[in-house]
Amino acid sequence: ETGVTQTPRHLVMGMTNKKSLKCEQHLGHNAMYWYKQSAKKPLELMFVYNFKEQTENNSVPSRFSPECPNSSHLFLHLHTLQPEDSALYLCASSQFRDISYEQYFGPGTRLTVT
């Protein structure tokens, strides 16, 4: 595997389910990001981890819970979601948490909440 991978690629869940999204980067980066992409809206930064420490929580509802066990893996735990949470969730990584370092994006997980 190369680059940034995300699993699953598609997920359908009910509002009472609990599920997790997984992201893995094979680039040796130290910063990882979760973004939410809704149709025809700008990408929304949700969480940022730098050297496994959470440095950003962009007013995200508590039904989204991130976890970063090491610099290569990032999870997004989901529970009691709402239909408006349906979106494409993108993971990204960069060598350092700095604007001058390119963010590399995974293909995303398409989440549908029913």
Partner 1 sequence: AQSVTQPDIHITVSEGASLELRCNYSYGATPYLFWYVQSPGQGLQLLLKYFSGDTLVQGIKGFEAEFKRSQSSFNLRKPSVHWSDAAEYFCAVGASNDYKLSFGAGTTVTVRA
Contacts with partner 1, residue ranges (CB under 8 A) = 4, 31, 40-43, 45, 48, 56, 90, 92, 94, 97-100, 102-108
Residue among 32, 89, 40 at smallest CA distance from 60: 89
Judged by beta carbon, residue 51 or residue 102, the one nearer partner 1 is: 102
Within 10 angstroms of residue 3's Cβ, the number of other Cβ atoms is 13
We find the least distance from the C-beta atom of residue 88 to partner 1, in angstroms, to be: 9
Judged by beta carbon, residue 8 or residue 102, the one nearer partner 1 is: 102
Judged by beta carbon, residue 80 or residue 105, the one nearer partner 1 is: 105
We find the least distance from the C-beta atom of residue 6 to partner 1, in angstroms, to be: 8
Report helix, strand or coil for 38.
Answer: coil
List C-alpha distances in Å: 7 to 21, 40, 90, 97, 100.
Answer: 6, 24, 11, 23, 28
We find the least distance from the C-beta atom of residue 64 to partner 1, in angstroms, to be: 18
Cα separation, 27 vs 100, in Å, equals: 16
